[in-house]
């Protein structure tokens, strides 16, 4: 059973008066393995927010199905197992941190004793124990984000959907979120992370899906998606055609930058030594070589630009 599964999910927004219908999600098929940290990526307007809104039951799909831990998205059984941190929120700031968490615990149907214990735990986890009696209106933006994270996990859900959880945070705050994500992962929870901060996603996620124009264009384990390609920056005394030809025998892609520099893309890390050997054997004067592992940002840009062509 998948933590999240969508089958041919489609959402078309039809304006009430005039205007063209907008297809936000278009036959989206997504499978999120349980117990993973799943990165959900896509350019602005790709349909990420709409997909999340369908998953949490706020938006009804036009066609297709979505399931949360085997329950239809939006059903009470699905909501009981789900924690959600919205991207745009305004909490009831006249409540104290503790009152706010108690309210959400009661909304999640938690009993009194369990709830009190859990409030202590999550406040400690997000680093707000000392501010438990402070009103939310007195919190900084980062602290509000952290109390938002606390409400998302107050009822110990099996699946936590975090919509841009680090957008308002400083580096320390981001580290705190990473720690919470790690804590959830260690406890076997599934975390569904929507973020534009690709470096954060790369550090936290096991599996990613990139969506564009409402469809999944790439999905898989992060290690598998990134390991097979490395980009190598090479500095030669002079770039010569025969050297480029020799490099092309080993590399998947060779791109001269200027008269002295070339970048090459190799399929695996072992090919880097082979590439150096080929340059030397072709008579090239190798002055420098630096390998970069392909980042998620590279993959994201290639994937999205490839789709738009």
Nearest approach, Cβ of residue 30 and other proteins (Å) = 18
Nearest approach, Cβ of residue 276 and other proteins (Å) = 53
Nearest approach, Cβ of residue 45 and other proteins (Å) = 14
- Beta carbon nearer to other proteins, 70 or 283: 70
Residue 168 has phi, psi (to 5 degrees) of: -105, 10
Enumerate the β-bridge partners of residue 22.
13
Three-class secondary structure of residue 306 per DSSP:
helix
Element (H, E) at 287: strand 286-293
- Beta carbon nearer to other proteins, 80 or 196: 80
Nearest approach, Cβ of residue 47 and other proteins (Å) = 12
Nearest approach, Cβ of residue 60 and other proteins (Å) = 6
Which of 142, 148, 203, 147 minimizes the C-alpha distance to 167?
Answer: 142
Q: How far apart are CA 255 and CA 294, in angstroms?
A: 16
- Beta carbon nearer to other proteins, 2 or 13: 13
The residues binding other proteins (CB under 8 A) are: 13, 49-50, 53, 56-60, 76, 79-80, 82, 84-86, 88-92, 94-95, 103-104, 106-109, 148, 151-152
Nearest approach, Cβ of residue 95 and other proteins (Å) = 8
- Beta carbon nearer to other proteins, 152 or 254: 152
Nearest approach, Cβ of residue 148 and other proteins (Å) = 7
User: Quick check: 101 and 150 in contact, CB under 8 A?
Assistant: yes
Q: How far apart are CA 245 and CA 250, in angstroms?
A: 9
> Which residues lie closer than 8 Å to 196 by C-beta, 6 or more apart?
164, 167
- For 105-144, letters b (16+ CB in 10 Å) and e give beebebeeeebeebbeebbebbbbeebbeeebeebeebbb
- Beta carbon nearer to other proteins, 137 or 253: 137
- Beta carbon nearer to other proteins, 104 or 189: 104
- Beta carbon nearer to other proteins, 108 or 234: 108
Helices (H), the chain: 48-55, 76-80, 97-107, 112-125, 141-153, 171-186, 198-204, 222-227, 241-250, 271-281, 296-308
- For the CA atoms of the chain, what is the radius of gyration? 24
User: Quick check: 300 and 209 in contact, CB under 8 A?
Assistant: no
- Beta carbon nearer to other proteins, 38 or 100: 100
Nearest approach, Cβ of residue 194 and other proteins (Å) = 14
Three-class secondary structure of residue 22 per DSSP:
strand
């Amino acid at each position: 059973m998948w933590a999240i599964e969508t089958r041919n999910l489609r959402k078309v927004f039809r304006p009430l008066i005039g205007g063209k219908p907008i297809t936000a999600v278009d036959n989206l098929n997504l499978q999120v393995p349980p117990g993973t940290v799943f990165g959900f990526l896509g350019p602005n307007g790709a349909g990420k927010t709409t997909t999340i809104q369908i998953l949490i039951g706020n938006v009804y799909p036009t066609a297709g199905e979505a399931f949360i831990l085997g329950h239809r998205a939006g059903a009470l059984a699905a909501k009981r197992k789900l924690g959600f941190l919205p991207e745009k929120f305004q909490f009831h700031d006249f409540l104290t941190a503790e009152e706010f968490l108690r309210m959400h615990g009661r909304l999640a149907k938690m009993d009194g004793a369990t709830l009190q214990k859990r409030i202590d735990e999550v406040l400690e986890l997000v680093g707000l124990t000392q501010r438990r009696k402070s009103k939310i209106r007195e919190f900084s933006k980062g602290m509000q984000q952290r109390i938002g994270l606390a409400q998302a996990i107050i009822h110990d859900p099996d699946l936590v959907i975090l919509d841009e959880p680090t957008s308002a945070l400083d580096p320390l705050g981001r580290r705190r979120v990473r720690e919470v994500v790690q804590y959830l992962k260690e406890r076997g929870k599934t975390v569904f992370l929507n973020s534009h901060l690709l470096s954060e996603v790369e550090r936290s996620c096991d599996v990613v899906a990139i969506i564009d124009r409402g469809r999944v264009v790439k999905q898989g384990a992060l290690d598998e998606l990134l390991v097979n390609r490395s980009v190598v920056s090479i500095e030669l005394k002079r770039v010569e055609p025969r050297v480029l030809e020799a490099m092309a025998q080993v590399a998947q892609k060779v791109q001269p930058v200027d008269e002295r520099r070339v970048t090459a893309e190799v399929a695996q890390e072992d090919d880097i030594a082979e590439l150096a050997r080929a340059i030397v054997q072709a008579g090239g004067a190798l002055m420098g070589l630096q390998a970069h592992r392909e980042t998620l940002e590279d993959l994201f840009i290639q994937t999205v630009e490839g789709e738009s062509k």
